[in-house]
Homo-oligomer: A and B are copies of this chain.
Amino acid sequence: MSGLPAGDGEFALIERHFTRRSRSPDVVLGVGDDGAIVRPTPGHETVYTVDMLVEGRHFLPGTNPERLGHKALAVNLSDLAAMGATPRFALVAGALPDADPQWLAAFARGLFALADAEHVDVIGGDTTRGPRNLCLTLIGEVPAGAALTRAGARDGDDVWVSGSLGDAMLGLAVLEGRTRVASAALAALVARLEAPTPRVALGTALRGIASAAIDVSDGLVGDLGHVAQRSGVRIGVDVGAIPRAAALDAKLGGSERALALQCLVAGGDDYELAFTAPSALRAEVAALAGVVGVPLTRIGDVEAGNGVVLHEHGAPLADVPRAFDHFAG
């Protein structure tokens, strides 16, 4: 944003990929000054989220740059969705080992395709040479008081999740040679891993319906653990009810049950929304699935207490992955 550090002259070409005329009339000044200026919507609150993605940690070296551009934006859009916020603006900062124009063009293509689809204006950023690292800040808006948080779950609420869980982690396990699936199934799993779909429309539709929400980025049990802690409740989850891909379901009944269970309750990177809602609104939630075009599945209940407790159709779950024992109440 402050221009490019001395010696980064060759990185000036990067700005070409990220400089576009902003489409929203609320952007007073976009890329190209010391800062960007926007006009906030009266009566709304502003929601901020930032995620840093490091090569070798959050994505593999050699990851398709177009998918990476998509994913870097998607993971932040997912955070805004979990807050019930309408995405508005993005700041894109990145360190890159070199200014490879083909890589950059592909990354920008993936980023802007999703930005355009979700009406997000990229209003600024910063680029420099360094070990590959992408840091996106997303700015959303929500009518004052209408944001969803982790803190509103109440005894008697239902627990819901969108889409299916475990796909991304199962895809990663296949890529790492730890298991196998049919090649037709693999493409879908890897697409979920590399190009997740943030549930933006669902997030805004849940305003006034959901009592608490979070995006499933670190694994269902851990993420619901945050909701339980912030809300001061216990959350019971029926593992048998968690929606999953057929490839994962097949493993759940067989010799790879441990891996399948781990994908389901501890798999990160799916970027689905988990949320709670009063049971009196069960029909409204079910109807939303059709409106936003995303399956919604009721997977549990909120009770008094603390922590997250897993069961399988009511029976205690003996073989819950050990690493997640401490989340149990």
Interface residues, chain A, with chain B CB atoms under 8 Å away = 1-6, 28-29, 32-40, 42, 44-52, 54, 56-58, 75, 78-80, 82-83, 85, 89, 91, 93-95, 123-131, 133, 135, 137, 139-140, 142, 144, 147, 149-151, 213-215, 217-219, 222-223, 226, 230, 266, 268
Decide if B51 touches A45 in the complex (CB within 8 Å). Answer: no
Complex formed: what's the CA distance from A221 to B135 in Å? 29
Residue of B nearest to A54 (CB): B130
Contact of A49 among B124, B127, B140 (CB under 8 A): B124
**Chain B residues whose C-beta falls within 8 Å of the C-beta of A150 in the assembled complex:** 32-34
Complex formed: what's the CA distance from A36 to B80 in Å? 10
**Chain B residues whose C-beta falls within 8 Å of the C-beta of A266 in the assembled complex:** 6
Decide if A149 touches B33 in the complex (CB within 8 Å). Answer: yes
Decide if A50 touches B130 in the complex (CB within 8 Å). Answer: no
**Chain B residues whose C-beta falls within 8 Å of the C-beta of A49 in the assembled complex:** 1-2, 34-36, 124
Contact of A142 among B37, B89, B219 (CB under 8 A): B37
Ranked 4 nearest A-B pairs via Cβ? A54-B130, A135-B135, A131-B131, A40-B40
Further pairs besides A2-B78, A33-B83, A50-B135: 18, Cβ < 8 Å: A1-B48, A1-B49, A2-B218, A3-B226, A5-B217, A29-B147, A34-B82, A34-B83, A34-B214, A35-B82, A35-B83, A35-B147, A37-B48, A39-B45, A48-B139, A52-B95, A54-B95, A131-B133
Q: In the assembled complex, how far is the CB of residue A82 from the closest CB belonging to chain B, in whole angstroms?
A: 4
Copies in the complex: 2
**Chain B residues whose C-beta falls within 8 Å of the C-beta of A58 in the assembled complex:** 5, 128
Complex formed: what's the CA distance from A129 to B133 in Å? 11
Residue of B nearest to A48 (CB): B36
**Chain B residues whose C-beta falls within 8 Å of the C-beta of A44 in the assembled complex:** 40
